Amino acid sequence: MKKVLVIFSGTRDNIEIIDRILEIEGKNIFLKVVFILSDAIPSNFSTWLMYIGFLGEEPTKEIKELIIKEIENLLFEKRDLLEKGLKKKKVNFNIEFLKGDFSFLLKEKLREEKWNSVYTPKAREVVIGEESVENFDIREI
């Protein structure tokens, strides 16, 4: 059985790409899907609002919290949809939801198992960041 890791990273990830992965890999797989809510999205945005948009500290904090909650909700919705779809397709899967530094968590997941393939909708250079992870078969989809 092939072990396949799929990483989703933000609000605009398209979970329909799972169908394409199943087309490529076949159904005899273990699919691990990880949703990572990156710290960087709300942090970068609130820094922008405060230092460039000149919004006060308190409103910026309130908006940042709202954005995190909103992204979380969107990712939960996607997770539920995906869970339903994969159960229907009778694929062996596991879904995990993580919050934190995207590169750090990604690397942790990569080292967790010996994955046959790793998929992510993010561009390869974004995923890899500054550290080389060439040992892994990372595919952009």
Partner 1 sequence: MSKRIKKIVKEAILIVGITFFLIFAFILPYLTDIPDIYLRNISILFLSATLWVTNVIPPAVTGILIIAITPLFNILSPEKTFSAFGNRAIFFLLSAFIMASAVFKRGLAKKFSFYFLKFFSKTPFLLLSGVFSISFFLSLLIPEHATAALLFPFLLQISHKIKNKKFQKFLFLSMGWGCVSGGIGTPLGGARAPFAMGLYQENFGKVITFFEWTKYSFPPSFIFLLFGILYIFLHSRSIPKESIEIEEIDSSFKREEFKVLFIYLFAIILWVFFSDKVDMAVTGLFACFLLFVFKVITWRDAQYYVNWGIIMMYGGAIVLGTSLYKSGTAEHISYNFLKIFIHKPFILLFLFLLLTLILTEFMSNVATCALLLPIAYGFSNVFDPLFLTLFIAIASGLAFMLPFGSPSVAIAFSSGKYSIFESVKYSTPFFIIAPFVLYFSFKVIFNFTGVNL
Binding part of the chain for partner 1, among 21-29, 42-50, 79-87, 107-115 by CB under 8 A, reads 42-50
Task: Give the start-end residues of each E strand in 27-116.
Answer: 29-38, 92-100
Cα-based distances in Å from 79 to 4, 66, 86: 17, 20, 10
Contacts of 127 (CB under 8 A, 6+ apart): 7, 103, 106, 120, 133, 138
Judge contact between 124 and 11, C-beta under 8 A.
no
Token duo for residue 141: 């989809």
Residue closer to partner 1 by CB (options 12, 114) is 12
Closest distance of CB 7 from partner 1, Å: 17
Judge contact between 69 and 40, C-beta under 8 A.
no
Q: Please name the amino acid found at residue 140.
A: E
Residue 100 contacts partner 1 per CB under 8 A: no
Residue 71 contacts partner 1 per CB under 8 A: yes
Closest distance of CB 29 from partner 1, Å: 30
Residue 131 contacts partner 1 per CB under 8 A: no
Residue closer to partner 1 by CB (options 25, 39) is 39
Residue 48 contacts partner 1 per CB under 8 A: yes
Residue 44 contacts partner 1 per CB under 8 A: no
Residue 95 contacts partner 1 per CB under 8 A: no
Site residues, partner 1 (CB under 8 A):
11-12, 45, 48-59, 62-63, 66-67, 70-71, 73-74, 123, 125-126
